[in-house]
A and B are shown apart, each in its own frame.
Chain A
């Protein structure tokens, strides 16, 4: 069974810092990986999707990387802003199924 771990569970940083969120997984037979953002009381917003054949994707201040051999993905946020405060979730689509397997999330607080 795929196990997905996100470290740290919570993170508080001052505005303007660059930061890295980590996601590790145990089964390398993945179809793709997604990073989501979840605001309190809201659903999930997809930020970046990396296919298994890709190594990274970029969108604005966000960059996500995927290393299947080491079972790791990172989400890099440049020049963090208070509006980035949210929970960030990584999720994997396994080759054998259609459902996403999620990590536990990292709760990010960016202080002004």
Chain B
């Protein structure tokens, strides 16, 4: 079956540009997570959705970062006025249930390079 997909796989942006990263979770998965992975480091939590509700955005590094999941399925992570420190791999994960912890399944990530 289809796993978590992300697009684009690679994105190069000039400093100051806005970017939008897309995540298609596994069909029927209630929970969706975004993580940021800097080069040579482990992923760090950004934000969490349960259906369309954004329940935790404590990991978003600045107000330039915005995430949405309007219909409780596809999610978009938007970064405004990109900076060089935003260069990283952005990973999306989904899990089946909201009431009890289920394994998170990760997408391949979007590698963002800000020049």
**B87-99 interface mask toward A, CB cutoff 8 Å, 1 = contact, 0 = none?**
0000101000000
Is B25 an interface position by the 8 A CB rule?
Answer: no
Q: A32-B101, A43-B91, A93-B101 are in contact. Are A99 and B106 (CB under 8 A)?
A: no
Total interface residues in chain A, CB < 8 Å: 25
Query: Which residues from A are CB-within-8-Å of B44?
Result: 102
Interface residues of B, Cβ cutoff 8 Å to A: 4, 31, 33, 35, 40-45, 48, 55-56, 59, 91, 93, 101, 103-109, 111
Query: Which residues from A are CB-within-8-Å of B48?
Result: 98-99
**Main SS of chain A's interface residues?**
strand
Is A42 an interface position by the 8 A CB rule?
Answer: yes
Asked if B43 contacts A102 (CB within 8 A), the reply is: yes
Query: What residue of chain B has the Cβ atom nearest to residue A89's Cβ?
Result: B42
Query: Which residues from B are CB-within-8-Å of A105?
Result: 40-42
Query: Which residues from A are CB-within-8-Å of B59?
Result: 99
Query: Which residues from A are CB-within-8-Å of B111?
Result: 41
CB of B75, distance to nearest CB on chain A (Å): 15
Asked if B4 contacts A43 (CB within 8 A), the reply is: yes
